[in-house]
Chains A and B, each alone.
Chain A
Amino acid sequence: MSLVDLRDVVKRYGPLTVLDGVSLSVEKGEIIAIIGRSGSGKSTLLRCVNGLEPIQGGAVTFAGTVVNDPGTDLRKLRQQVGIVFQSFNLFPHLSVERNITLAPTVVKGMDRRAARELARTVLRKVGLEEKIDAYPDRLSGGQQQRVAIARSLAMSPQLMLFDEITSALDPELVGEVLKVLEEMAADGMTMMLVTHEMGFARKVASRVVFMHQGKVWEQGPAAQTLARPRTPELETFLSAVLH
């Protein structure tokens, strides 16, 4: 059984159909890079996987649980699916430690001391242990994004979703965030990431999914798909982003 399974997913905003019958399966340990033009529905696709967006047709399944079933406990689901956003979305009124430990203590009932240890552990993974007592507005963009990743990791998710997490960063800060992703990939984390970093997608992703007009237009092994696109739309897209 696949970890994630989307079947003919339809998502509409009023008259606008954003996902128009998307089917996609992700196996445990896979790293899926989702690429495509602005507005092609990449973010929406990710947000359907953790139930942030209700869908109008089809089915989204995570580890056997139907996400779009009204009876599904989304809180349980979201403890197993981490998501990191382009704009970090750290809690500005909480220290780095509290940003990370809030969900483990509140949702999982972990005690504060154990949670602080956990915060140290995940901060070490993103190389920011010394920032445990800092507040988000004292951190650079790259550091904030690494804290956001650590915050997700603290819930020990089975799947991580990343939505253009380097797009809001100054170019010189992109590398430190991508490095964290590479290490997570090496640890065997299952990831779905929307990205404009084609070089990174080629190097780290096991599969590339090209979204176009609300559909999975083309997909395949990363290196091969990026080097030899089969559809003219992907070819056009690649030549636009690469040149």
Chain B
Amino acid sequence: MIRELAFIDVLYLIAAMRWTLALTAIAFAGGAVVGLSVALLRVSPVAPLRWLAMLYVHAVQGTPLLAWLFVFFFGLSIVGITVSPWIAAAAAYSIYAGAFLGEIWRGCLQSIPRTQWEAGASLGLSFTEQLRHVIIPQAVRVAIPPTVGFLVQLIKNTSLAAVIGFVELTREGQLTTATTFRPFSVYLIVAALYFALCFPLTRWSRRLEGRLHVAR
């Protein structure tokens, strides 16, 4: 049944953003936990731990996110384990975001000169104390722009969760197009809504970066 694109459709699209936001929040929170662990393992003095973390990163970066969503949602149900779409999405996105954030944050940790580690070690600080008091506070500043950059990618990638039943922004756009047959207008609105989410983030990251730089 084809009908006109109405104001109510725009409201539905805006409402669908909450799933986009919820998925992003879950993906980022899970990804941050995994990513921090990966980054710390990657700079650890224990070589096997570094290799393990590297293997993980390569494995995840070399496979599509879509595959992880399928594995956790359909794959597990085939072997008799039923998982809710939320659990499946949380697991798949944490694994995916964890690998990318892990790589980003490893780079930030390693961008701090070796002499800073040495200065800490020379004062009797342990490895974890050097990380906590000397390296991480400096790395955080470096990490903000690429982390926000990845977050923006993540917001857009939550649309993939449509395959396991989430009606988030992009999927809602598809549904609206199917009933109104106005793809151009609908997707223009969808794009504008994504932009409304992503643009302030980028702006905020710039401001934060500047502030941290001044405040040291």
Contacts and interface: CB of A to CB of B under 8 A. Distances in A.
Interface of A: 50, 52, 74-76, 78-79, 82-83, 85, 87, 89-93, 102-103, 106-107, 135, 137, 151-152, 155
B52 interface: no
The interface centre, meaning the residue of B116, B118, B123, B134 with most chain A CB atoms within 10 A of its CB, is: B123
A150 B11 CA distance: 64
B138 A102 contact: no
B216 interface: yes
B118 A89 contact: yes
Contacts of B121: 52, 74, 78
A53 to B, nearest CB: 10
A78 B123 contact: yes
Sorted nearest first, the 6 A-B pairs with minimum C-beta distance are A103-B123, A89-B119, A79-B124, A78-B124, A107-B124, A83-B122
Contacts of A135: 216
A86 to B, nearest CB: 10
A87 B115 CA distance: 9
Contacts of A92: 138, 216
Contacts, number: 57
Contacts of A50: 122
Contacts of A76: 124
B122 A91 contact: no
A89 B116 contact: yes
A152 B8 CA distance: 68
A151 B115 contact: no
Interface in B111-134: 115-116, 118-126, 129, 133-134
A68 to B, nearest CB: 16
A79 B133 CA distance: 17
A159 B116 CA distance: 21
A93 B140 CA distance: 11
Nearest to B134: A91
Contacts of B115: 85, 87, 89
A106 B125 contact: yes
Interface in B133-163: 133-134, 137-138, 141
14 contacts: A75-B126, A78-B122, A79-B123, A79-B124, A82-B122, A85-B118, A85-B119, A87-B115, A89-B119, A90-B119, A93-B216, A106-B133, A135-B216, A137-B216
Contacts of A137: 216
Contacts of B124: 75-76, 78-79, 103, 107, 155
Contacts of A75: 124-126
A82 B119 CA distance: 10
A151 B119 CA distance: 10
A102 B126 contact: no
Contacts of A85: 115, 118-119
B123 A102 contact: yes
A138 to B, nearest CB: 10
Interface in B51-69: none
B133 A102 contact: yes
Contacts of A78: 121-124
A82 B122 CA distance: 7
A183 to B, nearest CB: 22
B129 A91 contact: no
A107 B119 contact: no
B116 A91 contact: yes
B29 to A, nearest CB: 26
